[in-house]
Structure 1
Amino acid sequence: MTRSLFDRGPGPVPLPYRMRPSSLEDLVGQEALLGPQGLFRRFIAEGRWPSMVLFGPPGTGKSGFVELLPRLLSDHTFAHLNATTAGVADLRPELARGERRRREGGQHVVVLDEIHTWSKSQQEVLLSGVETGQIILLGLSNTTPYAALIPPLASRLLLFPFQPLDENALSTLLDRGLHRLARETHGPPLQLDPAARSLLVRYSGGDGRRLLLALESAVLMASGRGGEEFRVGEEDVLAILSRAGQVYGDKDSHYDTISAFIKSVRNYDPDAALHWLARMIEGGEDPLYIARRLVILAAEDVGLADPQALTQAVSCFHAVREVGLPEGRIPLAMTTVFLALSPKSISAYQAIDRALADVRGGFVPPVPLHLRDRTSKRAFSRDEATTPLDYLYPPDQPGGVSPQSHLPEGESRRYYLPNDRGRERELKERYEAARRLREGRSPAESSSLGS
């Protein structure tokens, strides 16, 4: 069942489809791949295309770029399959077509959307075509495909992430959308208030398709007012997004609500934190934005008082990215409660800032000779009086700690100032025990180091 990913369905055509790119210059974002010096442009200029998978969130330009490829690689033939509806029976004719093209000196590209949904046995059939060069595989996925691809197939593919569109790319897309709508309506010039622009960019979540859909709806909302000047204001965008469940109610609520959420978690109040979490979810906040903030909070506020908190938060981020909403609300709630009830310590956060301030202030001493890489030519420089072989291996020393200094003599620093909360109490004991051993005090005073 071979079909195009880009067939136009019945009914009105939405703005994102009407603005599908007709050249590489129409694409925004992904500069490392699609920019003037981008890798994909070099592939195209050389007239060759390796097997690969493009993956990333919706609305980042994957399908628009793939739609362009047949025009850019005119000596290649293309077929499009969707892995959710196509199977091995649909692939085999394309393998045969690819073999014929290869014998004729050409190449056949099979675009496989949702590649991560194919089973191991289906991928093994695909593997034979890629390995023998019958086809060039161009897989597409909205999720990270690493775990879904069988290792033999993954090793034969290049994997390229498409990142969410940044603010500059989204702003460019907005301007193009306004120009397109003004041209189509033959009306007065379209004006977009700065506050309205900021709202649209913020709630697009890096998704260009969502941005253009919201813009078109906001323009339709504003068109009912009439007047010589066609202005899309903040109130028009708020009206659209609030009806779609995508805002909290006013332009400040995004920052106020996430601030209340973070401060509730920081102060051991899981009930208040869950309230603000629910407000964000119901208001249409990007769940990955919430998960990212939890990762930051775990490192910054919980820190070494419970190092497991960071693992929990990172796992939450991956879970939310894989399952999305509504199921993603559960790992978000789990992690919110876990972090809220975790002991808190900012010692690591403060320690690295102290060290950075020291380095930025000019404290950059040379690496002591006994700490240098023993394969380094500089370690054996003849103008050094000391041999580099005097490094004392800590496991061989009393208490497992060497008395040697790790900064030049006379240049000791103390950046890490541990506290007594949670797991950090144990870390503090080990830290102090190790310091005593390095200073040559009795190992008996430092028995807690190995406990």
Structure 2
Amino acid sequence: MAASDPINPARPLADRMRPTHLDEYAGQLHLLAPGKPLRRSIEEDHLHSMVFWGPPGTGKTTLARLIAHYCGARFITLSAVLSGVKDIRAAVEQARETQQQAHRPTLLFVDEVHRFNKSQQDAFLPHVEDGTIAFIGATTENPSFELNNALLSRVRTYVLKNLEQADIRAIIDRALEDAQRGLGDRHLHMAPELRDLLARMADGDARRALNLLEIAADLARDEGQGPVIDQTILEEVTSQGLRRFDKGGELFYDQISALHKSVRGSDPDAALYWFCRMIDGGCDPRYLARRIVRMASEDIGNADPRALTLALQAWDTFDRLGSPEGELTLAQAVIYLACAAKSNAVYVAYNTALEDARKRGTQEVPLHLRNAPTRLMKQLDYGKGYRYAHDEVDGFAAGACYFPEGMGEPRYYEPVERGLEIRIREKLLDLRRRNRESRS
């Protein structure tokens, strides 16, 4: 939108307050600070195809509009949710006409481009290559997972970050003061500490901040000296909870990763924080219960076998109590796992053995390890030479081999010197010593 465009007061505040110049654009200094490559390309009118990857409300659409404005390009926008190949072809035809008749480039902006399937994404390729369009896609999902390699290889990917609280606060101030595009003509009063609170509650999302501000402005009470947005109003409009949480999206897996790594890192406070972030954001507690059980095996294992028992009990208790009471049991399990002795020996052993089993293919079970429930099997020497461990000294058949013939005796499980695995390690070393002595 150019600065000269008329302002329609019926448009949402977030749309009216879109920056019309780069100097108004908040945040993303890693991309747009003076001298940065993207800023230089915009100012020098070097239009190229790109993908903007970032959370909602970080300015992806606005930045695309600014680029079109600065480069003198026609701006066509499509939504991947509502559009198909037919719409793409129509947009390309418009771009071709603009190029031939007005000698202007066209910037085709596709919002939520990750929702296009492979054939829809492929439809852009020839027109990006021949210069009919400059393509900008916006996505909240990781492009390396959601976009075709063919398309990715023809664009530059820019990562947009959550806006800082100070950036959001500046946007709120501008909206309250701007009489032409914002709410300045309504002479609203809003205390500085409440502006800070709104900026914090917006959670890095400028659109969310402005949407909430617009609702609060409509609820403002006239206290005799003009309409006031007070704390009661602000609490009312933010009562639904505003934490960023995209179920199944990039942020979802980032938070799961943070929870798992906090448990692994033995930081119960950080682990509890990420657990609560996900609960507060609407994550299914049963999904978290499954992940907690996985952590108990992967990162604690036999260093503290009680961790797995507690994780399963927490899951079972949650199923019995339901939400929100049952969530406390999951929190208890998270804290216990974070504080427990750590070992990934079981995890490493499992993966190594699984790889070995796949690599070696089918190996015959040694005859002495086979069951012999019939006379024929006994005649074929099934079970012959098997030593029943309970009849041996200390319940251990020293020197016996339980691997397929010719495979040797690879070592998969190597207990660490932490927790219960200290004792397990000592016992294994003793048993292996006795095996060696028995065979020598």
Q: TM-score, normalised by structure 1?
A: 0.56
- Could you say if the C-alpha distance between residues 132 and 184 of structure 1 is closer, same or farther in structure 2, counting changes exceeding 3 Å? closer
Which residue of 2 is the match for residue 81 of structure 1? 78
Q: Which moved more, 1:196-205 or 1:114-123?
A: 196-205
Residue aligning to 1:23: 21
Structure 1 equivalent of residue 287 of structure 2 = 331
The corresponding residue for 2:126 is 128
- Residue by residue, what CA displacement relative to the aligned partner does 1:360-400 show, whole Å, maximum 9, x if unpaired? xxxxxxxxxxxxxxxxxxxxxxxxxxxxxxxxxxxxxxx99
Whole-angstrom distance in 2 between the partners of 1:94 and 1:142: 23
Counterparts of residues 83-162 of structure 1 (less than 5 Å): 83-96=80-93, 98=95, 101=99, 107-162=105-160
Q: 1:46 and 1:230, CA in 2 relative to 1: closer, same or farther beyond 3 A?
A: same
> In angstroms, what is the RMSD of aligned CA positions?
4.7
Q: Which of 31, 49, 67 is the matching residue for 2:47?
A: 49
Q: Which amino acid aligns with 1:287?
A: F
Q: 1:301 aligns with which of 257, 263, 274?
A: 263
Deviation at 1:158, TM superposition (A): 1.4
Alignment of 1:403-414 (within 5 A): none
> 168, 187, 201: which is aligned to 1:170?
168
Structure 1, gaps ≥5 residues long: 1-6, 247-283, 350-398, 401-415, 437-442
Q: Which letter maps to 1:331?
A: Y
The Cα shift of 1:96 comes to 4.7
CA contact (8 A) 2:61 2:111 kept: no
Pairwise CA distance, 1:153: 1.5
Flag the structure with larger Rg.
Answer: 2
Distance 2:146 2:255 in 1: 27
| Structure 1 residues 352-371: aligned runs within 5 Å | none
* CA distance, structure 2, for counterparts of residue 53 and residue 172 of structure 1: 27
> CA offsets, 1:341-362, max 9 Å, x none?
476255899xxxxxxxxxxxxx
**2:418 maps to which residue?**
418
Q: Which amino acid aligns with 1:134?
A: T
* Structure 1 residue 287 corresponds to structure 2 residue 265: no
CA shift for structure 1 position 58: 1.8
Q: Is the 8 A contact 1:59 1:207 kept in 2?
A: yes
Cα distance in 2, alignment partners of residues 161 and 290 from structure 1: 17
- Where does the alignment leave 5 or more consecutive residues of structure 2 unmatched? 293-313, 316-329, 343-409
Contact 1:188 1:228 in 2 (8 A): no
Q: Secondary structure at the match of 2:213?
A: helix
Aligned with 2:207 (options 184, 206, 209): 209
Aligned-partner Cα distance in 2 for 1:293–1:85: 30
> Residue type matched to 1:344 in 2?
L
Question: Secondary structure in 2 aligned to 1:139?
Answer: strand
SS state at 1:112 partner: strand
Distance 1:97 1:206 in 2: 36
TM-superposed CA distance for 1:293, in Å, is: 6.2
Matched, 1:227 2:220: no
Pick from 338, 344, 363: which aligns with 2:337?
344
SS at 2:20's partner residue?
coil
CA distance in 2, matches of 1:347, 1:188: 57
1:378 alignment partner in structure 2: none
Deviations 1:234-258 (A, max 9, x none): 222112222xx23xxxxxxxxxxxx
How far apart are the structure 2 equivalents of 1:294 and 1:148? 19
- Give the structure-2-normalised TM-score: 0.57
Q: Shift in Å at residue 47 of structure 1?
A: 1.4
SS at match of 2:74: strand
1:179 and 2:141 aligned: no
Number of equivalenced pairs:
314
2:418 is aligned with what amino acid?
A: P
How far apart, in 1, do the equivalents of 2:252 and 2:84 lie?
A: 37
Q: Secondary structure at the match of 2:197?
A: helix
1:419 partner letter: G
